[in-house]
């Protein structure tokens, strides 16, 4: 077992060898979880004199890991060996650099061909998730888009992304994530925000009720890229085969969790034209409108990013947690900054054990800084 009292515990097992990496041998172990349906990834670096370990590190082999703050509340993950780099270190030891994916490889490498019964996209997403993951956490059971959904010989990862981006939760939109312990998270974002449950608070304050983050955090924004992609209203022409009519479809984004009435964009640009599409009776009536709506909302919610770290304590922060971030005001440290403080969604979490400590790096995202008015003018 690798541990620092009061901070974290970590155990690594492979085959029938428990604790095959000791505290003295470990250089670094990190595991990263993402929003957006990506599998968690990991990296393991260590030095060992046990030559038998090398014979176990091949495709199909798994590493079992447990980690947490105490024995009473450990997370468990199954790690798949994806890439191995090893080098001799003197006469008796060897260094290892192993990386790969966690939880369920069938999600990305098993191809399926099937047609669902008439159901909503959310129902099919949840059914598909249950055959790949140990647990499903969701705040919704169905969407407004009942039809036959076709999986055309593609992996579940691609199929679920196809379903999510075309599901009709309007005026809300969906998001998904996968944690290393095999939990699939699927959220109706507006319903989640309306519930108002904040999972964590990142505040520069020494308290068990908040997470005191390191001072050198990063705030970044990409308005030009995201606005040119999805920030301005786009009008799409859709031809309905059944009626022969052409319908105008457009989506205009409004802030969801930032304290602003509009996003940061050039007020002189009004709208643009989008692709021409065709619709038939095989798909639900809002197939293209839901696609544009979900794409716009998911992309715009990625525009402003905060990257921060905290050390010396394990906290169970996971993707799609709704969190509160407080940046101290430069003029008055006791006050929160007007512009960057407020609600965010967690979109990436990396927990890294190295040098007998644990470092957690978290990426937070939302659509805008606060107090935006008329494109900042």
- Domain interval for residue 124: 104-188
**Could you tell me if residue 377 is inside a domain?**
no
> Are 138 and 170 in the same domain?
yes
Question: Distance of CA 1 to CAs 29, 66, 149, Å?
Answer: 13, 10, 47
**Could you tell me if residue 65 is inside a domain?**
yes
pTM beyond 0.85: yes
> Are 209 and 332 in the same domain?
yes
| Residue 282 pLDDT | 83
Domain final position from 102, 137, 162: 102
> Are 23 and 128 in the same domain?
no
Q: Give the pLDDT confidence of 99-108 residue by residue, as tens digits.
A: 999 988 999 9
For CA atoms 103, 108, 112, 116, give the dihedral sign. Answer: positive
> Are 213 and 333 in the same domain?
yes
Residue 201 has pLDDT above 50, yes or no: yes
> Are 27 and 87 in the same domain?
yes
Angle CA(106)–CA(187)–CA(66) in degrees, nearest 5? 50
Q: Give the pLDDT confidence of 121-146 residue by residue, as tens digits.
A: 999 999 999 999 999 999 999 999 99
| Residue 237 pLDDT | 82
> Are 134 and 278 in the same domain?
no
In 40-105, where does DSSP find H-type helix? 52-56
- Give me the residues paired with residue 364 across strands: 306, 346
**Could you tell me if residue 143 is inside a domain?**
yes
Q: Are 357 and 7 in contact (CB under 8 A)?
A: yes
**Could you tell me if residue 6 is inside a domain?**
yes
**Could you tell me if residue 249 is inside a domain?**
yes
State what percent of residues in the chain have pLDDT above 70. Answer: 97
Give the CATH number for residue 44: 2.40.10.10
| Residue 334 pLDDT | 61
Domain final position from 300, 326, 342: 300
| Residue 275 pLDDT | 79
Query: What distance in Å separates the CA atoms of residue 91 and residue 50, rounded to the nearest whole number?
Result: 12
Number of domains in the chain: 4
Query: What distance in Å separates the CA atoms of residue 297 and residue 114, rounded to the nearest whole number?
Result: 29
CA-CA-CA-CA dihedral for 313, 69, 99, 14, to nearest 10 = 150
| Residue 328 pLDDT | 78
More confident residue, 3 or 26: 26
**Could you tell me if residue 80 is inside a domain?**
yes
> Are 26 and 74 in the same domain?
yes
Q: How confident is the model at residue 229 (pLDDT cuts 50, 70, 90)?
A: confident
| Residue 18 pLDDT | 87
| Residue 89 pLDDT | 86
Q: How confident is the model at residue 86 (pLDDT cuts 50, 70, 90)?
A: very high
Which residues have a Cβ under 8 Å from the Cβ of 292 and sit 6 or more positions away? 234, 236, 249, 250, 251, 274
> Are 244 and 161 in the same domain?
no
Span 256-261, mean pLDDT? Answer: 89
Q: Are 68 and 8 in contact (CB under 8 A)?
A: yes
Domain final position from 53, 84, 102: 102
> Are 205 and 345 in the same domain?
yes
First to last CA, the chain: 57
> Are 160 and 112 in the same domain?
yes
Query: Where is average pLDDT lowest: 13-17, 45-49, 205-209?
Result: 205-209
Query: Where is average pLDDT lowest: 77-91, 189-203, 270-284, 303-317?
Result: 270-284
> Are 168 and 279 in the same domain?
no
Q: Give the pLDDT confidence of 267-314 residue by residue, as tens digits.
A: 787 777 777 777 777 888 888 899 999 999 999 999 999 999 999 889
Residue 206 has pLDDT above 80, yes or no: no
Query: What distance in Å separates the CA atoms of residue 78 and residue 107, rounded to the nearest whole number?
Result: 14
- Give me the residues paired with residue 249 across strands: 236
> Are 26 and 89 in the same domain?
yes
Q: Give the pLDDT confidence of 10-40 residue by residue, as tens digits.
A: 999 998 888 899 889 999 999 999 999 999 9
Query: What distance in Å separates the CA atoms of residue 148 and residue 114, rounded to the nearest whole number?
Result: 10
**Could you tell me if residue 193 is inside a domain?**
no
| Residue 375 pLDDT | 47
**Could you tell me if residue 14 is inside a domain?**
yes
């Amino acid at each position: 077992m690798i541990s620092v009292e009061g901070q974290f515990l970590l155990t690594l097992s492979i085959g029938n060898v428990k604790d095959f990496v000791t505290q003295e041998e470990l250089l670094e172990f990190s595991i990263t979880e993402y929003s957006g349906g990506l599998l968690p990834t990991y990296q393991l670096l260590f030095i060992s004199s046990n030559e038998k370990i090398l014979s176990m590190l091949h495709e199909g082999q798994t590493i079992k890991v447990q980690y947490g703050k105490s024995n009473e509340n450990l997370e468990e993950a199954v790690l798949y060996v994806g890439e191995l780099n090893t080098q001799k270190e003197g006469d008796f030891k060897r260094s290892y650099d192993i990386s790969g994916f966690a939880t369920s490889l069938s999600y990305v490498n098993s191809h399926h061909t099937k047609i669902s019964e008439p159901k909503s996209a959310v129902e099919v997403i949840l059914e598909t998730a249950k055959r790949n993951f140990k647990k499903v956490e969701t705040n919704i059971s169905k969407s407004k888009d009942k039809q036959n959904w076709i999986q055309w010989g593609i992996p579940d990862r691609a199929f679920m992304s196809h379903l999510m981006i075309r599901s009709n939760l309007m005026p809300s939109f969906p998001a998904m994530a996968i944690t290393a312990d095999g939990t699939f998270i699927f959220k109706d974002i507006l319903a989640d925000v309306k519930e108002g449950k904040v999972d964590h608070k990142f505040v520069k304050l020494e308290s068990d009720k908040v997470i005191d983050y390191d001072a050198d955090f990063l705030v970044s924004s990409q308005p030009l890229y995201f606005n040119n992609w999805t920030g301005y209203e786009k009008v799409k022409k859709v031809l309905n085969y059944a009626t022969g009519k052409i319908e105008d479809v457009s989506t205009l984004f409004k802030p969801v969790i930032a304290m602003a009435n509009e996003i940061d964009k050039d007020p002189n640009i009004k709208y643009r034209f989008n692709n021409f599409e065709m619709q038939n009776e095989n798909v639900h009536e809002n197939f293209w409108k839901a696609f544009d709506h979900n794409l716009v909302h998911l992309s715009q919610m990625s525009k402003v990013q905060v990257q921060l770290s905290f050390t010396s304590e394990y906290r169970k922060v996971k993707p799609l947690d709704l969190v509160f971030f407080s940046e101290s005001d430069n003029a008055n440290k006791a006050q929160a900054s007007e512009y960057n403080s407020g609600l965010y969604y967690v979109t990436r979490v990396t927990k890294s054990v190295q040098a007998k400590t644990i470092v957690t790096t978290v990426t937070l995202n939302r659509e805008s800084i606060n107090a935006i008015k008329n494109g900042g003018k």
